[in-house]
Chains A and B, each alone.
Chain A
Amino acid sequence: MWAIASGIEGNLAAYEAVVADLKKSRQEVENFYLLGDIIGPTAESNRLVKRIQQPRNGEPTPLVCQGWWEEQILILRALGRTGEPTQLIDRYGIDMTKTLWDAIDSTTLEWVRSLEFGFAELDCFLIHGSSIDVSDELTPTTDPIQMLDRLSRMEANQLFCGRSGLAFEYKIESGSLTSQVQTLDNLSSPTPTVLSPRRIIGVGSVGRIEGKASYTLYYPGSNKLEFKTVRYGAKKGFG
């Protein structure tokens, strides 16, 4: 069994709730993936990162990749792939640059730098946004041809992602297309392409909604998915 989560956004309580939920499971967690947005613009992020780095007895060690927030702090500290924090300012305003800068300490920054971009395992690819960009937001309403493109770029049958924060299974059950190519010397006969089923999975968000953490379980043996929601904190039972 794999547990796959994303979007903790510095919410330590939400992360604790997910880890506690996993401990209750009868099945062993073989792989525990955290698909980015571990940190948010809060000092609590530093404590969360320490917690993630030090799993307690019996807790699985998470495999972590970079998310959108991680990319923003790298850009701010001139360690990113692009120079300007345009996305951060567009989305949260100019003040957020200082808030994020001040929130993340140097130890956390070093940890962020060491993270992977994504994981390939079996016929799955696991990443925060998509193979195009960490900010690429795939949702239940994304165009199917675009979804297909993201899958084929990773040569994966299953793409797990977390940017939207939504929990969903987007299954392309079948597809067909006819293609004909004319060149200077040849006109091919129309060739059909038939698609085998494949899917994109939104794994939910641990910390974005206060009091309600969602994540995903995947069973590689049976190929089954299970979307989990954990209520925690003061509002438990009412959220």
Chain B
Amino acid sequence: MKIAVMSCIHGNYEALNAVLSDIDRQKADKIFCLGDLVGYGPHPNAVVEMIRSMDIPTVQGCWDEDIVEGLNACECSYPSILAEKRGKAAHEWTNDQIHPEVREYLAQLPLSLREENLCFVHGSPHNQHEYLMPEVNAFTALERVMATGADVLFCGHTHIPYVRTLDAGQLAVKVQQPEGTSTKQFTAPLKQIINAGSVGEPRHGRPNATYVIYDTDDKLTTLREVEYDYQLTCQAIIDKGLPAIFAWRLAQGLEYAERAEDPTHVCER
């Protein structure tokens, strides 16, 4: 079976349409979505309505949560004062625009989904705000997959797609207790983290939308990069009164806000 996994649409309806058309052409059997349907972009309601109308299984992202719960993120979730000011401006705008039924839909989204040996989360299994960067320590990455009990972990949140294959994991452990000593060998079979990138807010240096196709039979992943008329989204950002810098950043493939300096930092609150 071919599945398509997408993430981080961020109210970019043009990009979503382009990705859905591409998924159609790739003949995927099923689509999953890893959250962050809204935030920053100009069409939050239209994006959610499209996802709902297609019955796409979706997990909740951090932006979806913030729109539902109110902005309760603490300062540390913003990498800079500038990012905080821009993030709050985007949050306020989205919060004003969003329809009640859209808010209800976002509220009931699960934090993770399972399908056989595949697991789907927004950030990481432990926290939807945690960034699983491709350079995270390999054992840490392995722990994130193992924590789900799945073999393949799909995540988003970083806005740059990648496939990380973790193989030949071995640990030798010796436990000493007053009652005696025991040793054990731990081996991990092949595990993968597949990051779906971002449909509406790419960060790989080009404005194109990204998502992934995964074939459950041959276990192959294809990273897809889809061109679309991003200028339409840029214009809508300006027309709707969102900060113009979002349009410029989208056109550069720079994402709307920069990422935290220590992306593994997670607020304890």
Chain A interface residues (CB < 8 Å from chain B): 81, 132, 140, 143-146, 148-149, 152, 166-185, 190-191, 193, 195, 214, 227, 229
Interface of B is mostly: strand
Q: Can you list 12 A-B contacts (CB < 8 A)? A: A145-B171, A146-B147, A170-B173, A173-B173, A175-B170, A179-B138, A181-B135, A181-B165, A184-B223, A190-B165, A193-B137, A193-B139
Interface residues in B148-165 by Cβ distance below 8 A to A read 160-165
Q: How far apart are A144's CB and chain B's nearest CB, in angstroms? A: 5
Q: How far apart are A65's CB and chain B's nearest CB, in angstroms? A: 15
Interface of A is mostly: strand
User: Does B139 lie within 8 Å of A182, measured CB to CB?
Assistant: no
Q: Using Cβ atoms and an 8 Å threshold, which residues of chain A touch B210?
A: 184
How many chain B residues have a CB neighbour from A under 8 Å? 43
User: Does A145 lie within 8 Å of B142, measured CB to CB?
Assistant: yes
Interface residues in B164-188 by Cβ distance below 8 A to A read 164-178, 182, 184, 186, 188
Candidates B170, B184, B223; contact of A182 at CB < 8 Å: B223
Chain B interface residues (CB < 8 Å from chain A): 126, 134-135, 137-143, 146-147, 160-178, 182, 184, 186, 188, 197, 204, 210, 221, 223, 225, 268-269
Given A145-B146, A152-B139, A227-B178: A177 touches B188 (CB 8 Å cut-off): yes
Complex Cα spacing A148 to B160, Å: 27
Q: Using Cβ atoms and an 8 Å threshold, which residues of chain A touch B173?
A: 144, 170-173
Q: How far apart are A217's CB and chain B's nearest CB, in angstroms? A: 13
Question: Which residue in chain B gives the minimum CB-CB distance to A151?
Answer: B139
Q: Using Cβ atoms and an 8 Å threshold, which residues of chain B touch A214?
A: 178
User: Does B171 lie within 8 Å of A193, measured CB to CB?
Assistant: no
Q: Using Cβ atoms and an 8 Å threshold, which residues of chain A touch B163?
A: 181-182
